[in-house]
Amino acid sequence: MTPDIILANAKLVLPDETFVGQVVLRGGLIHAIEPGRAIPKGAVDCRGDFLAPGLVELHTDNLERHISPRPKVNWPHKAAIMAHDAELASVGITTVFDAVRVGSITSNSQTGYRKYARALASEILAIGETGVLKISHHLHLRAEICSETLAAELDEFGPEDRIGIVSLMDHTPGQRQFRDEQKFADYLQGKQSLSDAETRVYLDDLKELQARVGTLHEKAAIAAAQRFGATLASHDDTTAEQVAVSQAYGIRLAEFPTTREAAIACKDAGISVIMGAPNLVRGGSHSGNVAAMELAQDGLLDMLSSDYIPASLLMAAVQLGEIWGNMARGLATVSHAPAQGVGLLDRGCLKEGLKADVIRFGIEDSVPVLRGVWAHGRQVA
């Protein structure tokens, strides 16, 4: 049998409290949690560092960055998946829901986007079966409502694919994230070098597409989530009316609401609010939407996602812990709360019998310094 791993003389971060003690890891599980400063023979002396649950990431586009590091570059997928996995492990993330876009526009070669979800999901699952990945991977299907092929692509997946989240993504110009059409136009022109005329045609095409298939695609995504046994999420809710629709659909998670109005409506509807950790670390949204810090101060923030910067997840949680004067509450936004939100009851907190997903870190000038990561009892960083 593998010998016990004893992490001693640490500040243990539990869901509701923090105290000095030790954690014993055995057989991939948390075997014991004991208070006190004792350092048993053979134990790792954590020298007063924090020990917390491994971070649970529900929405990250990081894998896409590894697959396409430059425009028109398609990096070998196995290497990209392994690099993505190693990067997440290195910043304390031990469970990830890899966000994969489902739904394509294939009729326009210049501004469309190709199908890729089924093939990539199969690659992620196959690599996971080999045992070479450091952390636990699940799938998050980002259902693009404003697309041509969403329903058909969803039909390619089934309950065996470990899909944990299906999110409704509606990027139609003039609403939600792109309520300001000019910001969407600027984004497109910066990313795809379109002319003003080409941009206008594309925006009009998206509006027509949403009007034609939007309702059909929402119903298809909701039905697919039920078939997969996945948690249903909304994305970029802006108004109380949109939140009311989300509630009627059975949505449990609201990713990145863009206004305080929407966040309040989510709170009233019992929908958990996820905000971007980069938004909190930077002090505001890069898109001009509501600041995560504002929602945190008003008690309207439940979880954080690293979104496009994996290292931001622990940074933001520590920042919240210091602002709230409660490190347990800050760390819960990136561990216990997201795990509970998607029904992963075997992880997300330091508790006997749960998975031995643990991180060790210190804090220097309010910045976390990661000193160890264990996933299922195995040190991975």
Q: Is residue 80 assigned to a domain?
A: yes
Residues spanned by the domain of 176: 54-347
- Tally of domains within the chain: 1
Distance from the Cα of residue 310 to its chain's centroid: 9
Q: Is residue 364 assigned to a domain?
A: no
Q: Is residue 10 assigned to a domain?
A: no
pLDDT computed for residue 285 by the predictor: 85
CB 276 within 8 A of CB 254: no
pLDDT computed for residue 275 by the predictor: 97
CA distance 111 to 171: 14
Give 106's contacts (C-beta < 8 A, 6+ positions apart): 112, 114, 115, 148, 149
Q: Is residue 192 assigned to a domain?
A: yes
Give 198's contacts (C-beta < 8 A, 6+ positions apart): 110, 111
**Tokens read off for 258:** 């863009």
Q: Is residue 18 assigned to a domain?
A: no
Q: At CA 281, angle to CA 347 and CA 70, rounded to 5?
A: 90
The number of CA neighbours under 13 Å toward the Cβ of 133 is 24
CA distance 208 to 213: 9
Q: Is residue 100 assigned to a domain?
A: yes
Q: Is residue 236 assigned to a domain?
A: yes
* CATH code, domain with 314: 3.20.20.140
Q: Is residue 371 assigned to a domain?
A: no
Regions of the chain short of the pLDDT cut 50:
none
Find, among 61, 6, 54, the residue nearest to 33 by Cα: 6
**Tokens read off for 216:** 């059909």
Buried b (16+ CB within 10 A) or exposed e, 148-165: bbbbebbeebeeebbbbb
CA distance 261 to 267: 10
pLDDT computed for residue 184 by the predictor: 64
DSSP state of 134: S
